[in-house]
Structure 1
Amino acid sequence: MPERSPLDLPEDHPFGPHNLPYGVFTTPADPRPRLGVRYGDHVLDASAAARATGSPHAGLLAAPTLNPLLAAGRPTWQAVRAEVRAWLTAPEHRAAVTPLLVPLAEATMHLPFEVADYVDFYASEHHASNVGRIFRPDAPDPLTPNWKHLPIGYHGRAGTVVVSGTDITRPSGQRKTPADAAPVFGPSTRLDIEAEVAFVVGAPSAQGAPVARGDFREHVFGLCLLNDWSARDLQAWEYVPLGPFLGKSFATSVSAWVTPLEALESARVAPPARTHQLLPYLDDTADAQDAPDGLDLRLEVAINGETVSRPPFAAMYWTAAQQLAHLTVNGASLRTGDLYASGTVSGPEPDQLGCLLELTAGKGPFLADGDEVTITAWAPGPDGTRVGLGEVTGRIAPAIG
């Protein structure tokens, strides 16, 4: 019986022709970083396939990162996606493309794009309410007064964004509990995760020119999974009055695969009902049903192989389109490779909480050295299929010194 071709996938495979996420990989036989497209349990060498088929986009796909493709804009994204699908499904390309499929187990994945800026939001009402109850138990409202009026966020550190599989060194810094007379210095004792979804900007914008909510898909190429590692003890001591700093900036992990927004049309859903009148640049109530910006993504968080939570992204109050509009409304420009994250994804149920702070009501335990955290996700695809969103994994290494 002839061996089955890697091009012949079951129709319901989560990494079939309806998905086609991009990454950057090397192999032992060829250490040059190059663009790949995941197909089943293989990686298509996109640069080699473009050369073999005479693609007009061979130059873009020959780059060692996704940035040139990201910068090319949506018409090019769509044209390249159509080409890649044809390479993998059209009979006339089989002979040329089959040798260019590398088993996933033989590929080493790298950070898929050069990160320009990194912003993290706080878009889950369930997460924000739970954290508010933990830190402000006597407050009449767990949400801050501005929360329902604008997407709250902070600027993080782009230089410490790392690809899935990178070990995370336990950070050290100042911390002070209410019982301490003065702050002490040492390794964080309350190291936490935050299960998030991040959006990758492709087409830039001019400084001084806000990007309208309706132009979201003209600028954002796709999404990836993200773990916003958080040292809660460092964060608690430093965050007043200017917000997160060293408690967040030591590392942020992203998945190796960037899923194009074009693959997620079947996952679009209406966001939660708005309880406050939004200013015009954020107001999406007219589009909530016909052209919704919410996404039905199903996350799963595992620690040392044991599932601890299944957060639903569909419950996020603020959408990625609203976040982009708010990020630029003051005239801030977008750059190719900008990364902005959703904030912790949490749902209304106890098994839907996206961080240990919530899962343990602030009491712990938090992460120990050697713990490995894996966040996976999928989304509904066309005709009952699933769109696999890969995974982001990190293992905690001991503090240095």
Structure 2
Amino acid sequence: MKKTLSTLLFTAAIAFNGYAQNNKTAEPWLKKATAVIDYQLKQAGATYRPGHNPRSTNPDGSVRLADYKDWTTGFFPGSLWYGYELTGDQELANQAKRFTLALDSARYITNTHDVGFMLYSSYGNAYRITGDKSYLPALADGAQNLYNRFDSKVGAIRSWDFSWWKFPVIIDNMMNLEYLYWASEQFKKPEYAGAASTHASTTLKNHFRKDYSSYHVIDYDPKTGKVIAKRTHQGVTDESAWARGQAWALYGYAMCNENAKNEKFLAQAENIAKFIMNHPTMPKDKVPVWDFDVHNAQDIEEKAPRDASAAAVIASALLNLSTQVKDGQKYFDYAEDILESLSSDEYLAKAGENNFFILKHSVGAFLYNSEIDTPLDYADYYYLEALKRYVAITGNKNINK
């Protein structure tokens, strides 16, 4: 049964540490998912070695590991922290600390925007949950390195240092702005928030088509700040709507409005949400294929790999957006449907299987034959984040009872 969002938001308003203070009985799918999450994360924490974090599964069934330089490496520690919040299992908190501290060297990385994914997902959640100030130095270094990639002439943060582009900015970069907004307040650096909002404004201007779908890569001329080219590195074509890219965009603008209270950011988030929610090729279970414009769209549910990672990001973003607008019920309902789908046997792993990942059926980089129809650490991370937001809104506190 769907809930009335106004009631849920009232419940969320009295929440403490992310949980509503009531004894609402959790839905069966949520209780089932939480039990799987607790088991899988504990087994993963006991199986893998800090600094060599589980990223995905290789075609031969072995686990692809990520060291501290890998852009995904912060997601597994972050998942452990979220798992601790969802379950209250102290063992997960202990493991989360071990895997977080093993990424200390990421604070010195300067050649990518991904330090937000690396450090804010791990150290950021560690500090938010524990209040332990020993996590702050690494966060301070990483935030400064991310800010240093901002170019005032372009009005954006450079994503990559690949030589074949002049100044590439990818839609994924919207996700790392949250790190700068937080660091701006935490470390009294207003220029960080200024850079984040400027980047969001520049991206809004140049990354989107008339239907509010997003290009993946915009290449700028660093001398003039003008757009050189609009390309893709992940989608079917330069003009296609790569599913996870649309999810990054939705999440980014909902988050930016939450931090900057900018009506243009909010409007953009709602427009992107409309594009995603009403897309004619969205499958019935609301777990998109890896690119909305993939060939054989009429048979899309049978012929194109799904991307649970995109669905998880969309669900988390929509739950956030639902709390920022008066008519947020439609966003909440859609996100709830996604979470129920991801918590079904089709996508949720059975305890002890899937190399201890939580979700199945994600796509990393289809064009490069990399991580196709496999678990992904960031799919798990944003699924857990979405569940945590769902619990905060609905008050489903007793999910282990």
Report the TM-score, using the length of structure 2 for normalisation: 0.25
Identify, as 1 or 2, the structure richer in strand: 1
Identify, as 1 or 2, the structure richer in helix: 2
